[in-house]
Amino acid sequence: MKTSLSQALQVLKKSIARKTRSIVLVVIGSIVLTGCATSIEDYNAAVIQGIVDQNNNILATGYAVISAQKSDIPAQQRILSIRASKLDAYRALMEQIYGQYLDANTTIGEMVMKSDTLKARVQGMVYGARLVSINPVGDDTYETTLSLDKNIVNDLRRLFLAARANQSLASS
C-alpha cells in the first residue's frame, strides 16, 4: 500500500511538473508573441507617423543635391536645389494620392534574361499643399517637406476617380 501511495505521489508530481512546464511555456510564448506584436505595431506607427502628421494630413519630403544643379554659381545651385527638392516633394505627394503607374518589361531569350526594365510614372494635380520646411541636409543636399490637408486629399481622389469614369464612358 505504501508503495502504491508513493508511486501515485510520484505520478502526481510528474503530472504537476508537466503542467507547470506547459503553463510556463505558454506564458513565455505569450510574452514573446506580445513583444513581437508590440514591435510590429510600433513599426507600423512609425511608418504612418512619417507620412501623416498630428492632424492626419499627408506629409511628403523631397530631396535634391546642390552640386548636381546645372550652374557654375553656388548661390544659384542652392536655389535650383531648393526648387528641385520642392518638386520632388510634390511628386511624393502625388504618389501618395494617386499611386504610381508602373510599366515593367522583361525579355528572356534562350532561357537567359536579356533585359529587364521598369518605368514608373505619376501624374496628377495637387493644390493646397502647405510648405512645412526647407532644410539643408549635410553639405550638399536640401530637403523640403510639404503637408496636404486630408480633406483636399479626399477631394483630389474624388476628382481623379470622376475623371477616370468619364474617360471610360467616352471610350466605350
pLDDT tens for residues 138-157?
999 999 999 999 888 888 88
* Rg for the chain, CA atoms, rounded: 30
Same domain, residue pair 47 and 89 = no
pTM over 0.85: no
Does 160 fall in a domain? yes
Domain that holds residue 68: 59-93+123-171
Q: Which of 120, 69, 70, 119 is nearest to 92 (CA)?
A: 120
**Identity of the residue numbered 51:** I
Which has more pLDDT, 114 or 47?
114
Same domain, residue pair 151 and 82 = yes
C-alpha cell at 170: 467616352
3-state secondary structure (DSSP) of residue 119: strand
